[in-house]
Amino acid sequence: MILMVSVQNVDEAHEAVRGGADIVDVKNLQEALVGSAEPGVVGQVREAVPPELHASVTLGVVPNQIGTVAMAVYTAGALNASSVKVGFMNTEYDAAVETLRASKKALEGFDTKLIGSLFADNLLYEGLEPRRMIELAKDSECDGWLIDTLTKDGRNLFDFIPEAELREMVFEGKQLGMSTALSGHLKLDDLDELARINPDIVGVRGAVCAKGERTDGVYWEAVAEFKRQLELRQTGEIDVRDGVLAPASSNGSANGDSGWLVIDGTGKTCASILAELTVQVQQDTGSFVEVVMPDVLNTYDVIVWAENGGHSIVTQRKDDSGSVRILIKP
């Protein structure tokens, strides 16, 4: 999991970067439920954020005007945003697909990724069912997706979609090679649930603002503490699963004439690791595959992938660097 912090201006962007945010996301909280910042603000933030970090743009709830949305997406690409999020509330499914496809075309020639977004509380507004997020992202060829919330009454993501269901959605998204992101009034108290779900990206604002209020400015020390707590769960120093790991299988041995391949997950998203594993076992069912996982949370996704595919986990251990090494027999 990496941390995305929503900002409204360049001063907040500096605070987010100082606190260790991996993604600085520009939005406008003053516009309707949530809207887009002006191009000048986006440009300032992109310049302020170091090139090795991500600076993304949120368009918020977009209108049912395909050309207008595609032009806004094009602008995000021209401003060198790392990604642009296009959100839907009261939009018919087919219209949302058409809008995202037009947005994807508008990004041709840019390095900007397209992120489709639905809101967990959409049904409160008679909006598009949020559980169609993966289907929508797949049909419109998005690079990833985000589930967020719109309500401002104290409820958050987990009040609308339970942990187990979010876990299934995130895992399916990773198997399809998409980046997965969760947001929606998330706080430090939600980190154990988030760690068990293990999205690629966790998005916050209020939790890292002064006094915990999203209308107050982003505060670097709050960002740093959120990031620290997230990393404690990634390394396994805080165990969110009570030490439960998959048992080693007795169906296979690492000895014999079979080959042995290593997939190093260092610096890779869980989606890319699962994609490499899938391609490898499709091409070669005879070789053992050892997966090196610096992020402990990603080990659970690999375990689920192995179980779902009928593969055997031969051994599972921590090396001297703290990485988990999982040996799989296809």
Catalytic residue among 27, 174, 227, 329: 27
Is 27 catalytic? The answer is yes
Tell me, letter by letter, the H, E, C secondary structure of the chain. Answer: CEEEEEECCHHHHHHHHHHCCCEEEECECCCCCCECCCHHHHHHHHHHCCCCCEEEEEEEECCCCHHHHHHHHHHHHHCCCCEEEEEECCCCHHHHHHHHHHHHHHCCCCCCEEEEEEECCHHHHCCCCHHHHHHHHHHCCCCEEEEECCCCCCCCHHHCCCHHHHHHHHHHHHHCCCEEEECCCCCHHHHHHHHHHCCCEEEECHHHEHHHCCCCCECHHHHHHHHHHHHHHHCCCCCCCCCCCCCCCCCCCCCCCCCEEEEECCCCCHHHHHHHHHHHHHHCCCCEEEEEECCHHHHHHHHHHHHHHCCEEEEEEECCCCCEEEEEEC
Catalytic residue among 85, 104, 174, 329: 85
Give me the residue label for tokens 């939005």. 27
Give me the residue label for tokens 């201006």. 9
Catalytic residues, by residue number, are 27, 85
